[in-house]
Amino acid sequence: MTTNGDMPAGWSMWHVFSKIVKRINAVGMGLVSLFFPPHCYLCREEVEQLNAICDNCRNNLPRISGPICTVCGQPLSDQSVDLCHSCGIRRHHFDRVRALGIYRDGWQRLIQGLKFEGEKAIAKELSALMADYLKHEDPFGIVDTFSYVPLDRRRHRQRGFNQSQLLANRLSCAFAVPVEDGLRKIRATQPQTGLSHQLRRENLRNAFTCIPSIANGRTTILIDDVYTTGTTVEECAQALKKAGYERVFVLTVARTQYDQTK
């Protein structure tokens, strides 16, 4: 049986389907996104491409601006000083910390969506924002490697991935700089949430080690999602320097405005 002259029955439907498949292949989208268009994770508006957030939400994420501590990046209210209380009274193993925004509102929702809801597409968005920051602000100069804060085996198994490693791997591709995988968390620790600064340090003391490789005299950027009191990156930086790194910079997506006088 034929319709439309010599065209076989069903050809018209197949022709339409074929055009849809070609369109899908052309834009790199899957069938799921065709029938269930992606939406912005923050505002839930439909987005044209497979992006986790829309342009408007991305552009409106508040960046840290104004005076900051030259070491840890803590926002300062007094423009006449260049160090926060914590960095003024103690030396750190890391050399400098920078973060894109304050851990609240959109930044907090994105980080929690990545860590606790497994929305890995958010890692693409956050790493792109981190890459833009590194390119335009150039806070660290030339570096040799990226590193990332590791999870212990149990936490990694529960979550299924390490969000800091996802970010570091994407930054590695963006800058053609290798990722150093030698940093390890050698013992499980209790969650840091709710602990005082002193208890955080005791909780993580000697929890990290780094396998010596080609680190001697080199510089690395340690990647993490959130900087709170600095205890985690401080312990990681100490392990990296023991392994031979000369300088350890830290870049996080966000940071809390923690009262470091406590």
pLDDT digits (tens, 9 = 90+) for 219-234: 999 999 999 989 999 9
Residues 100 and 210 in one domain: yes
Q: Answer yes or no: do 109 and 213 share one domain.
A: yes
> pLDDT at residue 235 above 80?
yes
**For residues 245 and 143, what is the distance between their CA atoms, to the nearest angstrom?**
11
In this prediction, residue 193 carries a pLDDT of: 66
Q: How confident is the model at residue 21 (pLDDT cuts 50, 70, 90)?
A: very low
- Same structural domain for residues 51 and 155? no
Q: Count CB neighbours of 125 within 10 A.
A: 20
| Model confidence pLDDT, tens digit, residues 40-71 | 999 999 887 778 999 999 999 999 999 999 99
Domain housing 225: 61-255
Tell me, yes or no, if the pTM score tops 0.85: no
Same domain, 51 and 65: no
Q: What is the pLDDT of residue 72?
A: 96
CATH at 158: 3.40.50.2020
5 in any annotated domain: no
Res. 211: pLDDT tops 60: yes
Residues 75 and 51 in one domain: no
pLDDT attached to residue 196: 63
Total domains present in the chain: 2
Q: Do the bridges between strand 219-227 and strand 247-255 make them parallel or antiparallel, or are there none, so unpaired?
A: parallel
- What does the pLDDT read at residue 102? 97
The two structure tokens encoding residue 47: 């987005």
Residues 48 and 90 in one domain: no
pLDDT at 188: 75
CA distance 141 to 253: 18
- Per-residue pLDDT, 262: 43
Q: Are residues 50 and 65 in the same domain?
A: no
Do 148 and 22 lie in one domain? The reply is no
The CA distances from residue 214 to 144, 156, 172, in Å, are 10, 26, 17
Looking at the domain assignment, is residue 241 inside a domain?
A: yes
Residues 233 and 197 in one domain: yes
Task: With a cut of 80, say whether residue 198 has pLDDT above it.
Answer: no
User: Do both 125 and 247 map to the same domain?
Assistant: yes
Q: What is the pLDDT of residues 124-167, one digit of tens each?
A: 999 999 999 999 999 999 999 999 999 988 888 999 999 999 99
- Whether 2 maps to a domain, the answer reads no
Q: How confident is the model at residue 115 (pLDDT cuts 50, 70, 90)?
A: very high
Mean pLDDT of 97-124: 96
Reading the block at residue 150, the tokens are 């590791």
